[in-house]
Amino acid sequence: MKKAVVVFSGGQDSTTCLVQALEQYDEVHAITFDYGQRHKLEIEVAEAVAKKLGVKAHKVMDVGLLNELAISSLTRDDIPVSHELQENGLPNSFVPGRNILFLTLAGIYAYQIGAQAVITGVCETDFSGYPDCRNDFIKAMNSALVQGMDRELDIVTPLMWLDKAETWALADKYDALELVRNETLTCYNGVIGDGCGDCPSCELRANGLNQYLDNKETVMKSLEDKSN
């Protein structure tokens, strides 16, 4: 039996990955992390979407220690999300160590249930400047988990080389475009669906959706070319 663990935030990218995983694996588990993020609504959205899609199990883990260590606009209500990069070249929404922690814990969960894959929606094409969304980081984490647990495991990144328009196309391929558009939470200001329309995450999401809706055939062909 092919089993997978999906790192699941309830946002566009992870929901698209979850929808695809349910088609590709016999048993799919979702794992969501509560790290005191800016909007608790994220957790509620993730729970609702996971239930609707019918995953085998959905684990919500308290990792509040990350909030204590990582100061970011996503972990502090008094730090507004900025459109500008910081002096270090990173956006102030970057949470240092977040994906290191998440993938480690997801890998442990996969070990316990005998899953062959951990799936995450990170993407280098539209990675928003986050270093822990790049392919080199994923390969390094995959190697560390395999060596550290002495067990084969694949970190699968279906969106790694897709732009946002192609990510919308992938959701549409699995008849989930309306679900992703209306019921996920990607907005940094906590607005479900199309979001606030102003934060960097909403801009990226909206631009990708418009590109896809304006050029469906072209974008879908580009997705298929990358999938082959």
**Percent of the chain predicted with pLDDT > 70:** 84
Tell whether the model's pLDDT for residue 38 goes beyond 70: no
Mean pLDDT of 151-167: 97
Q: Which residues contact 19 (CB under 8 A, 6 or more apart)?
A: 53, 171, 174, 176, 179, 180
The predicted pLDDT at position 50 comes to 98
Under the banding of pLDDT at 50, 70 and 90, the label for residue 201 is confident
The predicted pLDDT at position 210 comes to 97
> What's the CATH architecture for 3-163?
3-Layer(aba) Sandwich (3.40)
Mean pLDDT of 79-103: 66
Mean pLDDT of 64-91: 57
Q: Please indicate if the annotation marks 78 as binding a ligand.
A: no
The predicted pLDDT at position 91 comes to 57
Tell whether the model's pLDDT for residue 57 goes beyond 90: yes
Two tokens at 222? 């580009």
Q: Please indicate if the annotation marks 15 as binding a ligand.
A: yes
Q: Please indicate if the annotation marks 133 as binding a ligand.
A: no
From 75-89, 96-110, 113-127, the region with the lowest mean pLDDT: 75-89
Q: Please indicate if the annotation marks 11 as binding a ligand.
A: yes
Q: Please indicate if the annotation marks 18 as binding a ligand.
A: yes
Q: Please indicate if the annotation marks 10 as binding a ligand.
A: yes
Q: Please indicate if the annotation marks 199 as binding a ligand.
A: yes
Tell whether the model's pLDDT for residue 206 goes beyond 80: yes
Tell whether the model's pLDDT for residue 209 goes beyond 90: yes
From 16-20, 41-45, 75-79, the region with the lowest mean pLDDT: 75-79
Q: Please indicate if the annotation marks 187 as binding a ligand.
A: yes
Mean pLDDT of 180-198: 93
Instruction: Please check whether residue 207 is in contact with residue 197, taking contact to mean a CB–CB distance below 8 angstroms.
Output: no
Q: Please indicate if the annotation marks 33 as binding a ligand.
A: no
CA distance 150 to 148: 6
Tell whether the model's pLDDT for residue 113 goes beyond 70: yes
Q: Please indicate if the annotation marks 16 as binding a ligand.
A: yes
Considering only residues 89 and 3, tell me which one the structure prediction assigns the higher pLDDT: 3
Two tokens at 211? 């590109």
Tell whether the model's pLDDT for residue 117 goes beyond 80: yes
Phi and psi torsions of 124, nearest 5°: -85, -25
